[in-house]
Each structure stands twice: as C-alpha cells, then as structure tokens.
Amino acid sequence: MDARLRGVLAPVLTPFNADLSPDAQRLARFCRWLLTHGCAAVAPFGTTSEANSLSVDERERLLDTILEDGVPAGRLLPGTGACALTDAVRLTTQAVRHGCAGVLMLPPFYYKAVSDDGFFRFFAEVIERVGDARLRVYLYHFPPVAHVGFTVNLVERLLRAYPRIVAGMKDSSGDFGNTKTMLDAFARGGFDVFVGSERFLLAGMRDGGAGCISATANVNAAAIDRLYQAWRSPEAERLQAEVDAVRGAVEKLPLIPALKAIVAQYAADPAWLTVRPPFVDLAPEQRDALLAQLTALKLAMPDVRG
Amino acid sequence: MDARLRGVLAPVLTPFNADLSPDAQRLARFCRWLLTHGCAAVAPFGTTSEANSLSVDERERLLDTILEDGVPAGRLLPGTGACALTDAVRLTTQAVRHGCAGVLMLPPFYYKAVSDDGFFRFFAEVIERVGDARLRVYLYHFPPVAHVGFTVNLVERLLRAYPRIVAGMKDSSGDFGNTKTMLDAFARGGFDVFVGSERFLLAGMRDGGAGCISATANVNAAAIDRLYQAWRSPEAERLQAEVDAVRGAVEKLPLIPALKAIVAQYAADPAWLTVRPPFVDLAPEQRDALLAQLTALKLAMPDVRG
C-alpha cells in the first residue's frame, strides 16, 4: 500500500520579489511553516499559487529550491497540469523524479470544445511519457475557472487504464453534488477525493472524502485541521462554522491578494503583498477591513515568518 | 509611417511529426505557400495553430526555423500572448528582435476574475520589459474561448499609454456589434481592427476595418483575398456568399482537425492529419463528408505541398 495523502493541504501562495521574480527561499520557509501548523502536505503551483502566471522554468527552479531547502518530497503535491503536453510531461517528470507524493493536474484549459476522448488522450500521453510507476495523479476539477473539467465517464476511463497511477481528485467545482457523485462512484475503489474548499470538508468526510486542498489553508490550516481530525466528534459542526466564518471574510475579496495581505500582516513582512499581473493589490481600505474582521474572528498564525 | 498589416492573414496550422513534435520545415513550406496564395501575412501561433498546446521552447524554435527558411519577418504576426508574464515577454522579445511586423497577444487567460486594471498592468509590464519602439501589439479578443477579453476602456487606456505600440485588434468575439464598437471608437486613430472570421469581412471593411485573420484562410485565402480586394465592387456580396459557404462547411466540425484534414487531402500528405492532444482526429465519415462538400463548392488549393 502507498502512504496516501490525507488531511489538509494548502495550495501554497507564491511570494515575489520587487521585480516580480518568484522568491524561492521565502516560499520554502512558508512551506515549512505550513507543514508544522496544520498542513499534512503542501500543494505548490496551484491556482492560489499564481502558478499559471509562472513559466515552466520558474516552476522547475522553485520546486528544486523547496526540496533543497528541506521540504520533504513525500509531503509535496505540486501542480503540473499545463495547456501544452510537453510542459505537463516536463513538470510531472521532475516531480516524480524527486519522489513527490503526487501531482495535481489541471486539464489543458485553453481549448474549450474538447471531448472526453481528447482529455483522455492528453492524460494517457502524459502518463505514458513520464513512464514511472511511482507517479500518482490527482485530477484537478475546477470548471468555474478552467471552464473545462472531468466527467464521471472520463475519470472511470482513466482509472481503468491507469488504476494505481490515477489516485484522486481535487473537486473545486463549488458544487457538493458533483463531489458526492465522484465519492459515490470511486471512493471505495481507493480514489481519494479532496474538497476544494473547507466549506465542504465535513460533508466530504462524512461521504468518504480524504480531506481538503483549499486556498484558505494558507492562513487557517490549524483550525481546518482541527475540524479534519474531529469530524466524527460532536464538536464538528461548531468547528465547521468557525472555519466557514474565516473563509467568508476572505472570499468576499479577490482571493489571492487577500490571502497575501493576511500573510504580510501576520508575518510582519510587506514583501508578501506583491502579486504578479494580471492580479492587482487590494485597495488599502479593503485590506484594513479584512484584517479587522479576521482580528475579530481571532485568526492566529503563530510564528509565521516571511 | 509604418508599413501596416492589411488584408487576409492565416493563423497557420502547425504540422506535427508522428511523435507529436512540431514539424518546422513543413510549417515553413506551408507559410510560403499561403503568402503566394492570398495571404498578406501569416500569423503563426494562433488558436488555430494549436499554439496553446505548444511549449515556449517549441514556439521559439519554430519561429527561428520559419525565418531561417525564408519567410519574411515583415509578413509575420506571431502569437505571443501567454498566461505567464515571463513567457509573454520572452516570446514577444524574440519576435521584435527578428523584426516581425507585429505580435498578436491573447490576454493571460487562466485567471478569470481579472479587472481591466490587472490586464492593463500585464500589458504595460510586457511592453516595458520588451522595451523596443519597433514593437506593434495587436490585441487578440476571443471571449468564446479565452473567457476573458478587452473592453473599450481597456483598449483606450492602452492606446493612451502606448499610442504607437498598441496597433490593432483581432476581434474573434463572433459579435459584429463589438467589432463595430471598436471600429467606431478607434479605427480613425490608426488602430487596425481585423475581423476574426471572413463572415464579417465585408461588414468590417465597410466600417473601416483592416482585413481578417481567420482560421479558414488556411484553406481558402485566395477567395477571401478576392473579397478583400473587391469589397467596394458590385461583386462583393457574391464573393462574401462564396467564402461563407466554405466556412459553413468547415465550421460544422471541430475546426482544427477539419482544416488539417483539408490540407492533408489537397496536399496529398497524410502527415497533416496529426493533431496534438487534447484534440482528436475527425472520424473518417466526417472527413469524407467534409471533403465531398468542399469538392462540390469547388475549393481549390493549387500547388499546395505538405
């Protein structure tokens, strides 16, 4: 049996230098902090990581640095999906060669009139070219942003063709009905479904889910992990309501600049404020209101450093 | 005054080898054929080129080869838009350094809740980093696929900040109302609006447009160019109807595999059939029906070679 990923994962925010180049050292420090403050693993190069605003070269160098800096490969689930087959192969090969626990793959997201056959062909080609039995692919389903995604038939076909390699899904559809469909169809077969927001964590666990991979885990992983650990307890509903309150405060605003503003504040490190275009900073009054609300909710990020 | 691009441009199909690597020599030959058979210029690395299924390295090498192979830089409008700022800068810098007539830039298309401020920041950053007065940027507006695009306010702001550099637009919205809005707002100021389908070519020319950049120009550029040359003549409506008939036959099917099937047939070169995942080939019966219809419409591609 594999040591499968379970629990709370953060799609790690990517810090940038003033010249908009990624700051690898700061990223590594933040990954280490997350891993000791509620995260079972970290998922760099997700949507929240601004990974789709990074080149493949930048992503490769960042992963190398995180690993050199001591983040254990077994607790890493890097995003390696890409529009270009050759990019997805290159990023996935690097992750597997380093022994990463798995990879989280968006489908190629530029072209929209793509059939299940086409997506199957893409993933089959990536898996065959990477050609490593250690590969574990988690499918990243995010139709609200990607505008493409994974149907039940596609997942079924991929699982039949690559039963050990296709390992699970992050469902960021925002529709728990879809999550439940995937859980009912595949969870008993060992396909690990992570909800894409902690709002659905309790519901997901009750239906056989594996945890959550959520943007807000960058700032609230400890509390989300308490819910994950206690989901069978009488406290679960209260813990769910607590994490929902923080999520609610953050997701009213553009999520990535908001999360960066929170880290910058709690780490007392304004370098974290920088976002790469096409994102823009929060307005000062948005930031102040957000931080006041989180203080009222008693959000804590003990010992976080930039 | 610049020698501005005008007329019919093809977003050139990208031929692949059996191992799915791009075939640079075949691409160069096809570009040269297009330039002597109706195209004023060619636009490699567009949507129809499967460019978003190519890595940046692959795109760079292809452009180098096309140029070495004798396609004149002054008749090239490569696509250089990308999700990652650093990729867009790299591709655009290469094109300008080679003296390309301009670049056709998609906005960064992964993230969806992006403001005009964010897109402005992205394009400003690209233009400043490329830092070359010869740069001519054509904005590629394609909301049906990119799910993001250019508002009138954004174009206005970009033109004010970079009046010579921001040179025009390809409008593939499929909504001539939008094209007319852009033409009315900016065409008199020297902003060149190309319609994204020859269906709108006559209407576009009557309202001050510069031509069209259209997928079907890969197979029907000569006829589209006859319409472009004769748009003021009494023949124009008939010529428009003729190119519409070909377009109608092709666009019932997945456009890129259909266009490749046509080139494969007329060039007697089955290598052209290959599409990169996530695309899949046409079914044989789709292909046969398409080719029969085009024969009935008397489509000709004289002397085309694979």
| A 29-68 → B contacts, CB under 8 A | 47, 52-58
CA B102 to chain centre: 12
| A 144-163 → B contacts, CB under 8 A | 144-147
Neighbours of B162 (CB within 10 A): 16
Among partner residues B52, B107, B280, which is closest to A83 by beta-carbon distance?
B52
Residues of A in contact with B84 (CB under 8 A): 52-55, 58
Note the pLDDT of residue B113.
Answer: 86
Note the pLDDT of residue A25.
Answer: 96
Contact B201, B231 (CB under 8 A): yes
Which of helix, strand or coil describes residue B243? helix
DSSP state of B100: -
Q: How confident is the model at residue A2 (pLDDT cuts 50, 70, 90)?
A: low
Residues of B in contact with A112 (CB under 8 A): 144-145, 147
Statement: residue B73 has pLDDT above 90 = yes
Name the burial class of residue B298, with classes exposed (0-12), middle (13-18) and buried (19+) by CB atoms within 10 angstroms of its CB: exposed
pLDDT in tens, A41-74: 999 999 999 999 999 999 999 999 999 999 999 9
Note the pLDDT of residue B233.
Answer: 98
Mean pLDDT (whole number) for A267-277: 97
Mean pLDDT (whole number) for A124-133: 98
Residues of B in contact with A54 (CB under 8 A): 84, 86
DSSP state of A197: S
Among partner residues A53, A56, A111, which is closest to B85 by beta-carbon distance?
A53
Tell me which residue of A10, A7, A4, A19 sits closest to A262, measured CA to CA. A10
Q: How confident is the model at residue B9 (pLDDT cuts 50, 70, 90)?
A: very high
Statement: residue B96 has pLDDT above 70 = yes
Mean pLDDT (whole number) for B150-155: 98
Length of chain A: 306
Burial string for A24-59 (b: 16+ CB within 10 Å, else e) reads: bebbbbbbbbbbebbbbbbbbbbbbbbbbbbbbebb
Tell me which residue has tokens 């010869």.
B134
Distance between CA B70 and CA B59 in Å, rounded? 17
Q: Pull the structure tokens for residue B73.
A: 């830089």
Global pTM reads 0.97
Note the pLDDT of residue B2.
Answer: 56
Q: Pull the structure tokens for residue B117.
A: 């401020």
Q: How confident is the model at residue A3 (pLDDT cuts 50, 70, 90)?
A: confident
Average pLDDT of chain B to the nearest whole number = 97
DSSP code string of B168-216: EEEE-SS-HHHHHHHHHHHGGGT-EEEESSGGGHHHHHHTT--EEE-TT
CB of A4 less than 8 A from some CB of B: no
ipTM of the complex as predicted = 0.96
Statement: residue B64 has pLDDT above 60 = yes
Among partner residues A85, A112, A279, which is closest to B53 by beta-carbon distance?
A85
Note the pLDDT of residue B1.
Answer: 40
Distance between CA B19 and CA B33 in Å, rounded? 25
Mean pLDDT (whole number) for A206-216: 98
Cβ contacts from A onto B, under 8 A: 113
Q: What percent of chain A has pLDDT over 90?
A: 98
Residues of B in contact with A118 (CB under 8 A): 277-280
Tell me which residue of A102, A173, A88 sits closest to A136, measured CA to CA. A102
Note the pLDDT of residue B144.
Answer: 96
Distance between CA B264 and CA B271 in Å, rounded? 7
Note the pLDDT of residue A305.
Answer: 81
Cβ distance B144 to A109 less than 8 Å, yes or no, reads no
Burial string for B221-231 (b: 16+ CB within 10 Å, else e) reads: bbbbbbbbeeb
Note the pLDDT of residue A1.
Answer: 40
DSSP state of B107: P
In angstroms, the separation between the Cα of residue A102 and the nearest Cα of chain B is: 22
In angstroms, the separation between the Cα of residue A18 and the nearest Cα of chain B is: 13
Mean pLDDT (whole number) for B271-287: 97
Residues of B in contact with A58 (CB under 8 A): 84, 86
DSSP code string of A22-77: B-HHHHHHHHHHHHTTT-SEE--SSTTTTGGGS-HHHHHHHHHHHHHTT--GGGB-
Q: What percent of chain A has pLDDT over 70?
A: 99
Statement: residue B21 has pLDDT above 90 = yes
pLDDT in tens, B211-241: 999 999 999 999 999 999 999 999 999 999 9
CB of A19 less than 8 A from some CB of B: no
DSSP state of A174: S
Helical H segments across chain B, by residue range: 24-35, 56-68, 85-97, 116-130, 143-146, 152-161, 176-186, 201-206, 217-229, 236-251, 255-266, 284-296
Find all residues with CB under 8 Å of B33, minimum gap 6, and list them: B303, B304, B305
Strand partners, A193: A169
Statement: residue B3 has pLDDT above 80 = no
Which of helix, strand or coil describes residue A138? strand
- Half-sphere exposure of residue A291: CA atoms within 13 angstroms, side-chain side: 18
Q: How confident is the model at residue B102 (pLDDT cuts 50, 70, 90)?
A: very high
Among partner residues A54, A121, A144, which is closest to B280 by beta-carbon distance?
A121
CB of A209 less than 8 A from some CB of B: no
Mean pLDDT (whole number) for A250-269: 97
Tell me which residue of A129, A127, A93 sits closest to A139, measured CA to CA. A127
Q: Which residue of A has its CA nearest to B51?
A: A84
